Structure formats: structure tokens, C-alpha cells
Structure 1
Amino acid sequence: MAFVKGSHHVTLSVGHAQEDVDFHVKTLGMQFIKRTVLFDGSIPIYHLYYGNANGDPSSVVTTFPWAQAGLVGEPGTNQAREVLLSVPEGSLDFWHQRLTEHKVVVENVEVLDRRRLAFRHPSGIEYVFVSNDNDPREGHPGYGVPAEYAIHGIHGVGIHVTTPERMVDFAQNTFYSQGKIREDGDRAIFQVGDESFGNHIELIGNRKDDQGTWRYGAGTYHHFAWNLDNLKNQDEIKFEIEGAGYTDISELKDRKYFKSVYVRTPGGALFELAVTHADGGWDCDESPQELGTKFQLPPQFEHRRTELLGQLEEIDI
């Protein structure tokens, strides 16, 4: 029987590489786990990966820094917008103080009568800290973030939509949503998959903004990836989605660390259906102790290593 296990990673289009590293590693304390390049197209662009202590699927944030290519996106409706991250219960006061000390504007917000922290990436992408007391994932302590306050991983994704009912129909009838839909004002919240954490979808009704861009461009959310666990299951899910009429879906793509299929949802957000590579995850090309220290390239780009390094922004990690 086909299933969605839970979340896998999120991928964002950001501005400069150095400010992205500084934000995720030096402000948020996340582990830098991989530095490679975008597999698609011919423009040399970094692909940077950050995670929790173990680099768990459902913990990883990846980014494409587009500033050096001059590509800028437009946030809007019918687009994934909010990066929802899970932090330990009781940690929000610590994070409010830390973000403020790092010159990040932070706001207390309330959803379902629970406090959250809302702030932005330097490129403008919306981040939200959601506190959870039942999240078993291990946070990464770094740059003054103690283990008891460190980020567990992904909480979910906030998607702005003009017609939430179409996305709800997709989730309920095609994409394995779980439990009841909870509502808070213009926000509808539900979970997808078998895990009890990291898999929340929050739909925000938004008919006032223009359509957001779906192409690459700094300041926008590119896709949210789901963990399909194995290739047989991934193929079955793809078949079901196509059979339901959602045919804006890609063929299988090998991303070295995982294999992926992409589908454009009726809410506009791009979903990735990912399976961690059978030959190894993040440590298939460097040891766990070395994660993020070496510039990794897929085999088809290895002969261009010197050329690519010469074109990419230098990063101080």
C-alpha cells in the first residue's frame, strides 16, 4: 500500500551565499552539511544544505543563492511562502532574545491560541518557529545555541492560496492527509503522512496579492519535499497522482543524495517526492565529521571543478 512517510527537506531561492550561511549557521545554529551545485541548467549556482544534529530527513533546509546571477523572485499568492521550523517547548523566549541580538526583526504571533515567532531570512523569505514538546529529533547546538533550545527540524510549510478548497481536495483524495482540518481565521491546518511531526501543511487564504513567481529567483520558496521512503512507493504515488489528473509532474531525477519527482499542486506550491539514495545519504561522499567542509560535485560536473569554483562566491564557514 502506497504511503507518504513525512517531510524530507525544503528548498529556497535566496540572495548571497555568505549571508545565507551566516543566517542558518551563525544565527540559527544549524549544521552545515553539504556544499554542492544546482543540477539543472548551465548557470553555476551553489546548492547549500543545513540540518539538525543527525541531518535527518525532515530536518534539512537547502538553498540556491541567486544574487550573483541577478535573479530575483516575487512572493505572492498560489505559492509556498512560510518556512515552519520546530523548536523545543519553552525555547521561544531564548530565540526571541537571540534573534534580536543578531539584528533580526522578530514578532510574536498566535496560531491556534499558541505563541509562535515570525521573522525573515535576509532575502525576505518568511520563517516561523513553532514550539513542540513531542519532537524526538535532535537539534544541533552551534554558535551559542544550546542543545536544549536547538532546532529539531521542519514543522511544515505555509502555502498562500486563492482557492484553498482545491488544495484540500488534492490532499484528502490524492496526497494522504491525516486527521481533521483545523481552522484559525484564514488559515487551514492539517498533516500529511505517517509521521507525527514535521509534516504540517498550513493553507493561508490570500486573494489580495498577485500571483507569486514559480521560477528560480532570490526571496522565494522553491519547493517542499516529502519523504517517500523507497523507489517502489515513490513510483506508486506518482502513478496515483497522474491517475487523479495532476499531470504537471516530472520524470525521476537523480540528485545524488536522493532521487526525486516533482509535482505542481493545485495550490501552486511545488512538491518534491524524494527518496534518500540507497547508496548513502549526506555521508556518501564525506564522513559525518567532515560534512559541509568540501565542495562536492556530481560526476557530470567534476571535470568543471576549477571553472565552477572560480565563478562561485567564496564562502567563509
Structure 2
Amino acid sequence: MTYLLGSHHVTLSVGHAQEDVDFHTKVLGMRFIKKTVLYDGAKPIYHLYYSNANGDPSSVVTTFPWAQAGVYGTRGTNQAREVLLAVPSGSLDYWEKRLKEHGVQAASTEVFGTRRIELLHPSGIEYVLVGTEADPRIGYTGFGVPQEHAIHGIFGVGIHVFDQDRMVEFANHVFFANGEIEETADVARFRVGSQEYGNWVELRGDRTDAQGTWRYGAGTYHHFAWNLDTLENQEAVKFDIEGAGYTDISELKDRTYFKSHYVRTPGGALFELAVTHADGGWDCDESPEELGTNFMLPPQFESERKSIMSQLEPINDPS
């Protein structure tokens, strides 16, 4: 029997590296846990990782800063759009005040009966802080954010789609949707994997915006990763998805910290099937205390370290 545990991480194409580091750490108070490079293509691009206190699967936001290379994307329909992050339900007044103090415009909204704070990443990507109850994940207490307000991790992903029905069909038939589809106004949502936390897919009907770009490009959401427990289960899930006719799915890719397949969904969003394998994990190349302090390269790039570093913008690490 194949199954999926829940969310694993979010990956975004953002603007410049320094503004991205400052936003996730000094504004959102997240932990900086990894500084490496994009493994695909010939152009050196940072790959930066942020998390809650423990770096749990379901808590990690990763970014590719593409502005240095002059590559920009377009937000639109048939594309993942909103980064949904879970915060303690009693902390939203705190977050409104903190964002204002950091010069970040924010708006309080309510969706599915739950209060939220909407804001923008410096590159324009839409972020949403969602108030949640009884989330066992532990927020990071750095950068002045106290424990009672710190971000727990991922709440889910917001996807803009021309046709919501095709994504619901995909979810029900091959992608582990749990329970009924909930609807409000122009948003439908379902939960994937564990119902404990971090696993909502929200579909916003969008027939107004043009098609969003799927390639790498600053200002756009690249993919949402789901957590599989073993490589055997991961391969079985891939086999089932292909067998249902969704054959736009990649071969296995080794990302050092996890191994992954990628599948393009009928709603346009790119989903990743990720496994933190036996030789992986955030601390496979750094000690837990050192996470994020060193510039890490996979073995195949190590001989090019000097050249790669010379082509990347310097980053002042948060402190």
C-alpha cells in the first residue's frame, strides 16, 4: 500500500540573496539552516534553506535567488502562488505589529473561518500566516520572536487554477486527498497525508490572470514538496501516478539532503516526492549546531568551489 506522510518543504525563486535572508530571518524569525547551490544547470545560483527550531519536514522554506542572474518569472494562473505558514492562533496581533515595524505591508483576512495575515516577500511572492491551534512543531526563537508567536512550519500551499475540478480529480484518484473537499467563495481545499498539520492544498479559481511561468524566475513559486517515508514507498507512489496517466514525472534526483521525483500536476503546480534518506538530512554535512554557517557543496561541485563562490553575491549571514 502506498501512502504519503504530509508536507516536506517549499521551494521558491526569489530576488536577491541578501533581501531573502533578511526577510526570512530578521522579519519572519526563521532559522537559517543551509547555504548551498542549485544542483541543476550550469549557472551558479544559491539554494538557501530556512526552518523552525528543529528543521522538521513540513517546516522548511527553500529559495533560489535568481535576480543576480537577471532571470524573472511571472505570477499567474495554473501555478502555485501562496506560501501558507502556520503560527499560533493567538499570535496574529503580534505579527501585524512586527510586520509593520519592519516596513512590511500586511492585511488581516479570514478564510474557512480562520484568521490570517497576508503579506508579500520582497520579490512579490504571496505569503500567508495562518493561525492554528495545538500545533506540536516548535518554532524558532531567534531574531526577537518569542516561542509563543514563532512560526511552526508549513500550513499548506495555495494554487491558482483555471479549472479546480482537474486538480480535485488528481487528488482524489492518485494523490492521497483525505476527507471532503471544503469550499468557500472561490477557494476549494483538501488535505493530503496526515491530518495533524501542514498539509492543506488550497485551490483558488483564477480565470483572469494569464498563465504563470513554470521555469525558474525571480518572484515565482517553484514547487511544493511532499514527504515520503522510504525510497521503496516513493518509487511505488511514482509508479501509481504514472499508471494513472500522469507521466510528466522525473527520474530520481539526489539532492544530498533528500532524494526526489517531480511531477507536474493538472493544475500547473509542480509537486515533489521527497524522501530524507539514510545518508541525508540537514546534518549530513554539518553538525546540528553549525547548520547554515558554512557554504556547502555536493562532491561533484567541490573542485569548482572557488569559481562558484566568485560568481555569487556575498551574503551577510544573520546574527
Where does residue 43 of structure 1 map in the other structure? 43
After the TM superposition, list the runs of 4 or more consecutive aligned residues in structure 1 that deviate by more than 3 angstroms.
none
In the TM superposition, what whole-angstrom CA distance separates every residue of 1:237-285 from its partner, at most 9, and x where no partner exists? 0000000000000000000000000000000000000000211310111
Number of aligned positions between the proteins: 317
In the TM superposition, what whole-angstrom CA distance separates every residue of 1:126-153 from its partner, at most 9, and x where no partner exists? 0000011121000001111001100000
Shift of 1:195: 4.3
Partner Cα distance (1:123, 1:29) in 2: 18
Where does residue 100 of structure 2 map in the other structure? 100
Partner Cα distance (2:295, 2:35) in 1: 5
Partner Cα distance (2:143, 2:241) in 1: 43
Where does residue 115 of structure 1 map in the other structure? 115
Where does residue 54 of structure 1 map in the other structure? 54
Shift of 1:213: 0.1
Shift of 1:89: 1.5
Task: Check if 1:189 corresponds to 2:214.
Answer: no
Partner Cα distance (1:53, 1:35) in 2: 17
Given that residues 109 and 118 in structure 1 are in contact (C-alpha distance below 8 angstroms), is that contact kept between their aligned partners in structure 2?
yes
Partner Cα distance (1:18, 1:313) in 2: 8
Partner Cα distance (2:196, 2:180) in 1: 14
Partner Cα distance (2:210, 2:280) in 1: 42
Question: What are the within-5 Å matches in structure 2 for residues 5-154 of structure 1?
Answer: 5-154=5-154
SS state of the match for residue 143, structure 1? coil
In the TM superposition, what whole-angstrom CA distance separates every residue of 1:133-180 from its partner, at most 9, and x where no partner exists? 121000001111001100000000000000000000000011000011
Given that residues 49 and 61 in structure 1 are in contact (C-alpha distance below 8 angstroms), is that contact kept between their aligned partners in structure 2?
yes
The AA in structure 1 aligned to 2:60 is: V
Identity of aligned residues (%): 70
Partner Cα distance (2:196, 2:299) in 1: 37
SS state of the match for residue 90, structure 1? helix
Given that residues 5 and 195 in structure 1 are in contact (C-alpha distance below 8 angstroms), is that contact kept between their aligned partners in structure 2?
no
- What is the root-mean-square deviation of aligned Cα atoms in Å? 0.6
The AA in structure 2 aligned to 1:313 is: E
Where does residue 275 of structure 1 map in the other structure? 275
In the TM superposition, what whole-angstrom CA distance separates every residue of 1:93-122 from its partner, at most 9, and x where no partner exists? 000000010000000111012210000000
SS state of the match for residue 56, structure 2? coil
Given that residues 256 and 280 in structure 2 are in contact (C-alpha distance below 8 angstroms), is that contact kept between their aligned partners in structure 1?
no
SS state of the match for residue 130, structure 1? strand
Task: Check if 1:163 corresponds to 2:163.
Answer: yes
Unaligned runs of 5+ in 1: none
Partner Cα distance (2:173, 2:223) in 1: 21
SS state of the match for residue 289, structure 2? helix
Partner Cα distance (2:304, 2:27) in 1: 33
In the TM superposition, what whole-angstrom CA distance separates every residue of 1:163-214 from its partner, at most 9, and x where no partner exists? 0000000000110000111111000011001242100000000000000000
Given that residues 162 and 205 in structure 2 are in contact (C-alpha distance below 8 angstroms), is that contact kept between their aligned partners in structure 1?
yes
Question: What are the within-5 Å matches in structure 2 for residues 127-276 of structure 1?
Answer: 127-276=127-276
Task: Check if 1:287 corresponds to 2:301.
Answer: no
Given that residues 265 and 271 in structure 1 are in contact (C-alpha distance below 8 angstroms), is that contact kept between their aligned partners in structure 2?
yes
Partner Cα distance (2:285, 2:241) in 1: 33
Given that residues 216 and 222 in structure 2 are in contact (C-alpha distance below 8 angstroms), is that contact kept between their aligned partners in structure 1?
yes
Partner Cα distance (2:125, 2:307) in 1: 31
SS state of the match for residue 165, structure 1? helix
The AA in structure 2 aligned to 1:312 is: L
Given that residues 25 and 32 in structure 2 are in contact (C-alpha distance below 8 angstroms), is that contact kept between their aligned partners in structure 1?
yes
Shift of 1:64: 0.1
Given that residues 30 and 142 in structure 1 are in contact (C-alpha distance below 8 angstroms), is that contact kept between their aligned partners in structure 2?
yes
Partner Cα distance (2:277, 2:106) in 1: 37
Unaligned runs of 5+ in 2: none
In the TM superposition, what whole-angstrom CA distance separates every residue of 1:269-309 from its partner, at most 9, and x where no partner exists? 00000000211310111111100000000110000101111
Given that residues 34 and 282 in structure 1 are in contact (C-alpha distance below 8 angstroms), is that contact kept between their aligned partners in structure 2?
yes
